[in-house]
Amino acid sequence: MANWCNNTVVFNGHPKAIEQINRIFKSMADSQRIEDVGQLPDFLQDSEGDYFFNIEQYEGLTNEFHYETKYTPNTETVKRIAEHFKVDFTLEYEELGCKEYGKAIFEDGVLTNISLDQQDIDSFTLDEATDTYHFEGKEYDSECEILETLLERKIENHFNKIKI
């Protein structure tokens, strides 16, 4: 059984392109409910198993989609969709069993993928006796806030290096 990677992608671009992407994702979601198999847009023949599963779109958000992939994010497949429609995207993903936690940003044809590594994951600990996480002298009920803090720092550091 696969570990499921949770993904949230937000597309940005020309409204007509976003409308087309919206239709494709709705069609894939409908097909997946009927066929119960992973989906790809019709214009992508093979994505090396990077299929979309359990696609959801929240009411009122026409450019944001939530879905699952097996083990890792399908960043390259999302990039191919963005290139096809000439749009940008931000993809946030997490699958902690495979130590996947990051954000991919595709803007002006450039893909930047920043994710946490083992050193980041090892920077906090779980106290099993109290079921709390410890990070930088503070106690947390969940690892989510810690992971988000670590990723934000890594993103900021990455973009600060580019500016220099």
The arithmetic mean of pLDDT across residues 137-158, rounded, is 95
pLDDT at 15: 95
Residue type, 22: N
pLDDT tens, 99-138? 899 999 999 999 999 999 999 999 999 999 999 999 999 9
3-state SS, residue 94: strand
The residues near 83 (Cβ < 8 Å, ≥ 6 apart) are 109
% pLDDT > 90, the chain: 82
Higher pLDDT, residue 161 or 103:
103
pLDDT tens, 2-19? 699 999 999 999 999 999
pLDDT tens, 23-33? 999 999 999 99
Alpha carbons 4 and 91: distance in angstroms, whole number: 16
The residues near 141 (Cβ < 8 Å, ≥ 6 apart) are 131, 132, 133
pLDDT at 96: 86
Asked if 87 and 21 touch (Cβ cutoff 8 Å), the reply is yes
The secondary structure of 105-157 as a DSSP string is: EEETTEEEEEE--HHHHTTSEEETTTTEEEETTEEES-SHHHHHHHHHHHHHH
In the chain, the domains with their CATH numbers are 1-115 (3.30.70.1270), 117-164 (no CATH)
Strand locations in 13-137 (E) = 53-56, 64-70, 88-95, 100-107, 110-115, 125-127, 132-135
Alpha carbons 123 and 36: distance in angstroms, whole number: 39
What is the model's pTM?
Answer: 0.90
What count of other Cβ atoms lies within 10 Å of the Cβ of residue 25? 24
pLDDT tens, 46-82? 767 789 999 999 877 778 999 999 999 999 999 999 9
The arithmetic mean of pLDDT across residues 22-46, rounded, is 92
Alpha carbons 105 and 155: distance in angstroms, whole number: 10
Determine which of 42-51, 79-88, 134-143 has the lowest per-residue pLDDT on average: 42-51
